[in-house]
Chains A and B, each alone.
Chain A
Amino acid sequence: MGKRTDVFTRLQPMHSFLLCFFLLFQSSAALQTKQVRRVLIFYEAGAYKPLPNLVDEGIRAAFDNAPYRIEFYREFMETAQFPDPVDQKQFRHFYLRKYHNRRPDVIIAVGPAPLQFMLEAHQRYFRDVPVIFCLPNRLPGTLSVDSDFTGVEADVAPAATLEAALRLQPDTKHVIVVGGTSPFDRQQEAAVRNQLKAYENRFDISYLTDLPMPALLERIKNLPSQSIILLAGLGRDAEGRVFSTAESGPMVVAAANAPVFSLNDRHLNHGEVGGDVSDAVDQGKMIGATTVRILNGEKPRNIPTVKTANAYIFDWRALKRWGFKEKNLPPGSIVINREPTVWETYKWYVTIGISLILLQAVLIAGLMWHRAKRRGAEGELRAALEVARESEARFRLVANTAPVMIWMSGPDKLFSYFNQPWLDFTGRPLVSELGNGWEEGVHPDDLQLCLNTFDQSFQRREPFKMQYRLRRHDGEYRWVLDMGVPRFSAEGCFAGYIGSCIDMTERKEAEEALSSVSRRLIDAQEQERTRIARELHDDINQRIAMLGIELDVLQQSLPNQGPELQNRLDELRQQTAEIGTDVQGISHRLHSSKLEYLGLVAACKSFCREVAEWHRVDVNFTAENIPPNLTQEISLCLFRVLQESLNNAIKHSGAQSFEAQLGGTSNEIQLTVRDHGIGFDAAAVMVSRGLGFISMRERVSVVNGTILIASKPMGGTEITIRVPVVARAASKTTVGAA
């Protein structure tokens, strides 16, 4: 009774397991209202053993797409734990009662004991219910099944496993078969013995199948060398201790000093080497497929019993432990638990690492290339810089040895360079001159004009030329002629100015002296002409006039003389008058008294008329807005320039008509003499006809005027004089002409 209680207690977890199954399948099937099919499975092993779960896995996989709602019922006969025939008989009674009113559609019997149960009970209790058996080895020939039975066989393959072991350990001499005492163990042992008969002559084959576990383990600790162990079913030892494959496998492997080869796929993963084993999951799948066929209406008799294929499965760790070469395994072997090689473990790391290294290498190569290129460029740059330096040095050498002062400014108007002659001249250090420092040396009276000229030219980017006084190192202001030109870079960008200066004080003094001399010369000449003209006119001419009067008077006072004397007196008087006229003409040409007596306009007009008559050309003279109170100096200047330029024009231009214009504004008088003749090269003429032009220039400069000579070959000539008029009260010396 106590035993029975124990049985039911053990069965309780099974019930909860089944419940889970129901719930699992119901949850999906309830929704579909499929037909219900009951599947009853009898397992020989306990629910805790690996085999039922493996088979379940396969069966469930086959039912995944079944059109039914499957109700699973699993029973575990546990022959290893409950070997007592009385216990087993009570289990069977319980099953029969349990399923008496709950008739299954299919019964699956996994293991020899469930198959035996079905063979005995089928006809009576489960008549016409198809039975699918599942055996780890071939159906023993002693058993006969009726037409409701079909099944899946497997086969224990000790011979194939032994052959595989020999490939790995060719010098094997001793083969020890380890097994247990449960019905399943015995059945398997029998199959092994049967198959190994053929090897008994070649090897020393011994069977350790009737030992208590401790003794067994002790025995296998000290096996002779060149031994192997074939591990068969070991569900129970000689003393009735029950073991699952998960327990027995590790114990055997741990104790044995020889490699342990497996005959069942449950004996793997605990250090066993492996062997030619059946695959429980594969069996489960085949059972599942068969079950589906039967549920679909096929008759078991039409479904032949099938045998699952075995497979060579080896544990990589055990192979390593025993030094077996993987290449010696039978072809098609499956190696499990292979520890990934360094390559496999670190494949990604290595790949990523190598990729990174490659990337780095590429980058480094790129950088090297770039550096090489840059070095090349740097080399070119260095060469260019060298050329530039050389050019710069050459420039400085030239600049510093040139007999002129040279400066440079940037586009910001700030001065950035002065050559040595400049610094020698001013006696100041470069740093004092840079920027705007140079302005300090410019004479205060000239600075503004100087800056204006510079600024204006700078804005227009035009060359300029200017004169100003610059303080020499000894404190003396010297006149310098400064000529600046804009600088442009190779790209055409404005880069500032460069300029050169020469000390022109001496030249300027000489010019001034010359100017002074020529001015005095002109003055003297003018004075002398005036004096002679006056002498002639005011004295000689008057006297001649008086002589004429005397002759008239004499003629009148001698009324009674003969006609000869009268005629003679007439002639004398005539001659006297002619002399007077001639002298007056000479006087006029020397110095036009008209200018003095009649003013500028009358004098000019008269001169134009005279010269036109004399040379038989047209001279068109016009005058507008000429103030009456011009100074003698200005009038004389304008008159002389008119004389000189008109005479020149008539003499050289080849033209027949000329224009002379006098025009006045509030602050200046302008004289223009124009012809449309052959023109001339102004610069060349300045030399050949120099004196006249110089004389004109001098006269104009005396009255602070300007003279502009515009002429080009075949383009005519135009001479323009501008003279500023200073507002001036009329004085006694003023020429008052209409």
Chain B
Amino acid sequence: MKVNEMGCPRILLADDLPEVRERVTELLRCDFDIVGTAQNGQQAVEAASTLDPDLVVLDISMPILNGIQVASRLRELGCRTKIVFTTVHEDPDYVEAAFSVGATAYVFKSRLATDLVFAVHGALQGHKFISVRNRSTLREDPQMAHLKSRLALKRA
């Protein structure tokens, strides 16, 4: 893992919403070096190629290229940087798609404050992570459970 002079891992942040970028930056800046931000998928691909960060925190719903496409493109370009998705899409289909294009962690935006730092740390270590739905009282979605078992995840 490449780290900066302070020894902090280098993070690229891609999200089209400024509020989210702001919040995520607050959450991560203690432990990580935010080397760049991108407001759309296109910028994300370019920044990742240029900056070669240790990890990209990537939103799915973005203009021009969505997060899945960005991850796919980065893999096509040979970029092996870790990817942590942050998204409002809690549907297992998205989770499955994200992992299929090389994601290491998948964090629901509703669980951002609690899960993100943990997930990023884990991801940098190679640990996979998926947020748990807020409706914890409800029985977990069987599709998600299946997915988790397939990915051999530990619950956060």
A contact residues vs B (CB 8 Å cutoff): 537-538, 541-543, 545-546, 548-549, 552-553, 556, 573-574, 576-578, 580-581, 584, 588, 593-594, 596-598, 602, 605-606, 732, 736-738
Contact A542 B17, beta carbon cutoff 8 Å: yes
Chain A residues with Cβ under 8 A from B109's Cβ?
Answer: 542, 545-546, 548-549
State the CA gap A605–B97 with chains docked (Å): 13
Cβ A598 vs Cβ B68 within 8 A: yes
In whole Å, how far is A558's beta carbon from the nearest beta carbon of chain B? 13
B76-134 interface with A by 8 A CB criterion: 88-91, 93-94, 97, 100-101, 109-110, 112-114, 134
- Could you tell me if A577 and B97 are in contact, using CB atoms closer than 8 angstroms? no
CA distance A597 to B94 in the complex (A): 8
- Residue B110 contacts which of A537, A548, A597, A598 (CB distance < 8 angstroms)? A548
Task: Find out whether the CB atom of A577 lies under 8 angstroms from the CB atom of B94.
Answer: no
Q: Which one of B1-9, B31-39, B57-65 is at the interface?
A: B57-65
Interface of chain B: mostly helix, strand, loop or mixed:
helix
Query: In whole angstroms, how far apart are the Cα atoms of A244 and B20 in the complex?
Result: 178
Nearest first, the 9 closest Cβ-Cβ pairs linking A and B are A552-B113, A545-B109, A577-B134, A738-B100, A548-B110, A577-B110, A598-B97, A541-B88, A606-B93
Q: Are B113 and A549 in contact (CB under 8 A)?
A: yes
* B113:A546 contact, CB within 8 angstroms: no
Q: Is the CB of B113 within 8 A of A598?
A: no
Q: Determine if A736 and B69 form an interchain contact, defined as CB atoms under 8 angstroms apart.
A: yes
Contact B88 A545 (CB under 8 A): yes
A597 to chain B: which residues have CB within 8 Å?
60-61, 66-69, 89, 94, 97
Verify A546–B91 contact, CB threshold 8 A: no
Chain A interface, DSSP helix/strand/loop, else mixed: helix
Note all chain A residues with C-beta closer than 8 A to B113: 549, 552-553, 556
Which A residues are in CB contact (< 8 Å) with B17?
542, 546
Min CB distance A405 to B, Å, is 56
A146 vs B94: C-alpha distance when bound (angstroms): 175
Please tell me the number of chain B residues within 8 Å of chain A, measured between CB atoms.
32
Residues on B with beta carbons closer than 8 Å to the beta carbon of A581: 90, 134-135
Q: What's the minimum C-beta distance from A612 to chain B, rounded to whole angstroms?
A: 13
Contact B91 A606 (CB under 8 A): yes
Question: Which of B19, B73, B93, B110 is A594 in contact with, Cβ under 8 Å?
Answer: B93
Instruction: Verify if B23 is at the interface (C-beta below 8 Å from A).
Output: yes
In the complex, what residues of B have CB within 8 A of residue A542's CB?
A: 17, 19-20, 61, 88, 109
Whether A538 contacts B61 by the Cβ 8 Å rule is yes
Which B residues touch A556, using CB under 8 A? 113
20 A-B residue contacts at CB 8 Å? Answer: A542-B88, A545-B20, A545-B88, A545-B112, A546-B23, A574-B134, A576-B110, A577-B110, A577-B135, A578-B135, A580-B88, A580-B110, A584-B90, A588-B91, A594-B94, A597-B61, A597-B89, A597-B94, A606-B91, A738-B101
Bound Cα distance A681, B147 (Å):
44
Q: Do A546 and B19 form a contact, CB below 8 Å, given A577-B110, A578-B135?
A: yes
CA distance A543 to B65 in the complex (A): 21
> Looking across the interface, which residue of chain A has its beta carbon closest to that of B93?
A606
Q: Which of B65, B109, B114 has the most CB of A within 10 A?
A: B109
Number of CB contacts from chain A to chain B under 8 A:
91
Interfacial chain A residues near B93, Cβ < 8 Å: 594, 598, 602, 605-606
Q: Does B72 contact A (CB under 8 A)?
A: yes
Give chain A residues whose Cβ lies under 8 Å from the Cβ of B19. 542-543, 546
In the complex, what residues of B have CB within 8 A of residue A606's CB?
A: 91, 93
Cβ contacts under 8 Å, B20 to chain A: 542, 545-546
Instruction: Please tell me if the beta carbons of B110 and A732 are within 8 angstroms of each other in the complex.
Output: no
- A737 partner residues in chain B, CB cutoff 8 A: 68, 97
Tell me the complex Cα distance, A542–B18, Å: 11
- CB pair A552–B114 under 8 Å, yes or no, is yes
Q: B61 touching A537 by the CB < 8 A rule?
A: yes
Q: In the complex, which residues 17-75 of chain B have their Cβ closer than 8 Å to any Cβ of chain A? A: 17, 19-20, 23, 42, 60-61, 64-69, 72-73
Q: How far is the CA of A266 from the CA of B69 in the complex (A)?
A: 156
Across the interface, name the chain A residue whose C-beta is closest to B67: A597
- Closest residue of B by beta carbon distance from A547: B110
- CA separation between A598 and B114, bound complex, in Å? 27
- Given A549-B23, A549-B112, also A738-B97 (CB < 8 A): yes
Contacting pair A736 B91 (CB below 8 A):
no
Most chain A beta-carbon contacts within 10 A, residue among B64, B65, B66, B88: B88
Quote the shortest CB–CB distance from A734 to chain B (angstroms).
Answer: 8
Q: A594 contacts which chain B residues (CB < 8 A)?
A: 91, 93-94
A737 to B71, CA, bound (A): 11
- Does B72 lie within 8 Å of A736, measured CB to CB? yes
Task: Report the Cα distance A297→B31, complex, angstroms.
Answer: 187
Could you say which of A538, A542, A549 has the most chain B C-beta atoms within 10 Å of its C-beta? A549
Q: Which of B19, B73, B101, B134 has the most CB of A within 10 A?
A: B134
Contact residues in B for A576 (Cβ distance below 8 Å): 110
Complex alpha-carbon distance, A594 and B97, angstroms: 10
Residues of B within 8 A of A543 (CB): 19
User: Which of B23, B69, B93 has most chain A Cβ within 10 Å?
Assistant: B93
Within the complex, the shortest CB–CB distance from B14 to chain A, in Å, comes to 14
> Across the interface, which residues of A come within 8 angstroms of B65, CB to CB?
732
Rounded to whole Å, the gap between the CB of A614 and the closest CB of chain B is 15
One of B60, B110, B135 near A545 (C-beta < 8 A): B110
Please measure, in the bound complex, the distance between the C-alpha atom of A542 and the C-alpha atom of B16, giving whole angstroms.
10
Least Cβ distance of A263 to chain B in Å?
Answer: 160
